[in-house]
Chains A and B, each alone.
Chain A
Amino acid sequence: MDGTKLKSPAELLAERTARVQAAYELRVPDRVPIALNFGYMLARLGGITNQELERNPVKAQELLEHCALRFEPDIISGLGFLPHASIALGDRQTKWAGYGLDANGTFQYVEDEYMKAEEYDAFLDDPTDFTLRTFLPRAFSELEGLASLPRLPIMLLGYTTIRSLRAFSAPPVIAALEALIKAGKEVDQLGAIARVNSKRMQDLGFPNAFGTSSLITAPFDFMSDTLRGMRGIMLDMFRRPEKLLAAMQKVIPLVVEFAVSAAKRTGIPYCSIPLHRGSDGFMSIKQFETFYWQSFKAMILGLIEGGVIPTVFYEGVYDQRLSYLRELPKGKTIGRFDRSDMFKVKEVVGDVMCIQGGFPVSLLQGGTREQIREHTQKMCAVVGKGGGFIMGPSTTISESDPELVKIWVDATREYGVYS
C-alpha cells in the first residue's frame, strides 16, 4: 500500500497527476498508475437503475465519488455518454435505458445505412447540405422537417431570395429548429454540471486534467459507424473504392479542425479516438493499409500538428498490425488497448506510445483471486517495465465484480511499484 489515507487531497492530486504524466511521457513513475472507467457499475453499486444513472448526472457524480474513495484510482471516469440530447432529437441511431431499452438496459448503437450507396456524390459535393437536409432528418425523428429546407447557398443572392425562405414557417421545420434549441440547452446544462463535477473530483484529489476535450473517429469509422454501416462500407470497398477513399479524404480536415478547436477552447489537449473496424479480423492487412491506416495516420499527424494529444482506443485486437503503430510519432499519442496481446504490444510499441488498459474484464467478472493477482503481477512486471504503462481494464468494468476489481487494484499497487 502507498499510504494514501494519510495524505491530503491536494497531495494526492499532485501525486496522481505526476504519476500519470510520467507514464504518458514514457518515463518511470513511482508506481504503475491505475485508470478505471466504472460505467454502469455505478448504478449497481448505488442501487439505482441504469436509466437514473444516465439521466441524473448529479446522482451519478455522488456514486462516482464513492467509487473514487473506495478504489482510489489515478484516472477515473463514469459513463462516457449521456442520453439527453439523443432523446430531445429522437435519435434513431442509439438506444438507452428507458429509451428503446428497459430501465436497466445498457447503451447500444443501431447500425444501418443512414447514407445510401448512391449518395457518395451528394456527400462529396456538399457535405454541409448532405448533413442538413439528408442525414439529420434521417437519423433524428425530431429533425425530419429539415428535409424540406431549400439548399441554403441560394441565400447568397441576398434580398432577392428572401421570399424563398417561406420553408422556415412550415410547422415541421419550426419543430425541428425548436428541437435543436432544446437539445442545445440540455447539452449546455450538462456541460455546466460536468464542470462542477470535475472541480469536485479535483478537490477530492483526483485529477481532471486527463479528460478529453473531443471525441472523433478514424475516417473509415466515420464513414462506417454512423453513415454506411459495416455491411454497406465493406461492399463499397469492392464496388466503389474511389468514392470511399475520396470521402475519407474529405473527413480528415473536418475532424482535425473540430478536435484542434475543442482543445484550444478548453485547454485540454486530449482527444479520444475509439477505433472500430481497424481491428484484426475485420479486414486483411492490405485492405487495412489502403482503406484504414493511411487516412487514420494522416488524421493523427494533423491532430499532433494542431497541438492535440490523440488518446486512441485500439478496440478489438491489433496483434497482426502493431508494426503500423510504430509509424506514429514517438511519445505524441496514447494507446489504450482492449484484447490485444499486451506483452506483444509492449514489445512492439512500448517505446512509441504510453500503453493503457488490456486487463481482461472477463477475469474481473468470473476469475479467481489467484488468477487476478497472478495476471496483475505479470502485467506489472512485463508491460510495466521501464514505465510508459497505465493499468486499466480491456473495456468498461460495467459488469465486473467490485470485489474482484478491488483485488486487482490492490494487486497493482503491490506489484506495480518501481524501485
Chain B
Amino acid sequence: MDTLVEMIAEMREQDALARVKQLLDDHTDPTTILDDCRAAMEIVGKQFEHGEYFLPELILAGDLLKQISDLVKPHMHHAREIQKHGKVLIGTVKGDIHDIGKDLVVFMLDVNGFEVHDLGVDVPPQKFVQKIAEVKPDVVALSGFLTVTFAAMKQTIDAIRAAGLRDQIKIMIGGGTIDDHVRVFAGADAFGKDAMAAVALAQQWTGQN
C-alpha cells in the first residue's frame, strides 16, 4: 500500500485526505502525520529544485498541507515544540502589492524549519527597520515584482544601514524582474530566482549547509 508521504508528494489530494482521516480514526499519533507531511514536502521541494515540479504543485501541496493540518489539529493534545533553525523577516517593499512569490517563499521557508515573520506587502523602509530591531532576524528578505521596487529595495537597505542594523543581518532580494544588477544597485547580499533559492540562501547563512 502507498504511504501518506507518497500520496502527498505525488499530488494525490483525495487519497491523502482519506488516508489522514483513516489514520486519525485509528488513533494514530497525530505528530507522526505531521512528520509525514514534512517528509513529503522535502520531496516536493527537491522535485521543484530539479525542475520536475513547478508552482501548480507547490500551491496544491500548500493547500493540501493546510487541509491536513486542519484535520489533525483537534487531535493534538499537547503541541510538540518544534525546533526552528533561524529567523527570517520578509516583506514586499514599498510601492508594490505583489504577494504570490513572497507567499511561496514564506511557505517554503516555513516547511524548511525557519521562523518567518511576514510583514505583508507595500512595506515602508521604516517598518522593516522597526521590525528588525524587534525580532532580530538572521535574514531579511525583500520581495518585489515591479521595476519601482529597485529603488524601494535600495531605500530599504539604506534605511537599515542608517539605523546601524546592516551588519547584524544578511539581506536577500527576489522577484520576477530582480537580477544581479539590481542586487548591486540595492546593496543586497544575494538575490534568489525562486523559493528554493531563498531556502538555500537562508540555510547557508544560518550555517545549515
Q: A residues engaging B (CB < 8 A)? A: 95, 105-106, 108, 110-111, 230-231, 234-235, 237-239, 281-284, 287, 316, 339, 360-363, 365-367, 394-396, 398-399
Chain A neighbourhood of B176, CB < 8 A: 316
Looking at the complex, which of B28-36, B92-100, B110-118, B129-137 is the stretch in contact with chain A? B92-100
Chain B neighbourhood of A399, CB < 8 A: 147-148, 150-151
Check if B184 is an interface residue, CB within 8 A of chain A.
yes
- Cβ-defined contact, B177 with A105, below 8 A: no
**Cross-chain pair count, CB within 8 angstroms:** 82
Q: Given the known A-B contacts A287-B54, A365-B147, are A235 and B181 also in contact in the complex, defined by CB atoms under 8 Å?
A: no
Chain B neighbourhood of A396, CB < 8 A: 147
Chain A neighbourhood of B97, CB < 8 A: 95, 108, 110
**Minimum Cβ distance to chain B for residue A279 (Å):** 9
Docked complex Cα distance between A237 and B56 (Å): 8
Chain A neighbourhood of B151, CB < 8 A: 365, 399
Pick from B51, B55, B146, B177: contact of A362, CB under 8 Å: B177
Q: Given the known A-B contacts A361-B177, A363-B181, are A238 and B13 also in contact in the complex, defined by CB atoms under 8 Å?
A: yes
Check if B76 is an interface residue, CB within 8 A of chain A.
no
- Cβ-defined contact, B181 with A362, below 8 A: yes
CB 8 Å contact bits of B37-78 with A (1 = contact, 0 = none):
000000000000001111110011001000000000000000
Chain A neighbourhood of B119, CB < 8 A: none
Chain B neighbourhood of A111, CB < 8 A: 100
Docked complex Cα distance between A112 and B185 (Å): 33
Chain A neighbourhood of B184, CB < 8 A: 366
Docked complex Cα distance between A361 and B55 (Å): 26
CB 8 Å contact bits of B163-187 with A (1 = contact, 0 = none):
0000000000000110101101100
Check if B194 is an interface residue, CB within 8 A of chain A.
yes
- Cβ-defined contact, B56 with A362, below 8 A: no
Beyond the given pairs A110-B97, A230-B59, A366-B150, 10 more chain A to chain B contacts, judged by CB atoms under 8 angstroms and listed by A's residue number, are A105-B95, A235-B56, A239-B13, A281-B55, A284-B54, A365-B151, A365-B181, A366-B182, A366-B185, A399-B151
- Cβ-defined contact, B181 with A282, below 8 A: no
Check if B11 is an interface residue, CB within 8 A of chain A.
yes
Docked complex Cα distance between A360 and B150 (Å): 13
25 cross-chain CB contacts under 8 A? A106-B95, A108-B98, A108-B146, A110-B97, A231-B100, A234-B55, A234-B60, A235-B56, A238-B11, A238-B60, A239-B13, A281-B193, A281-B194, A283-B55, A284-B52, A287-B54, A287-B56, A339-B177, A361-B147, A362-B150, A363-B181, A365-B150, A366-B182, A366-B184, A394-B177
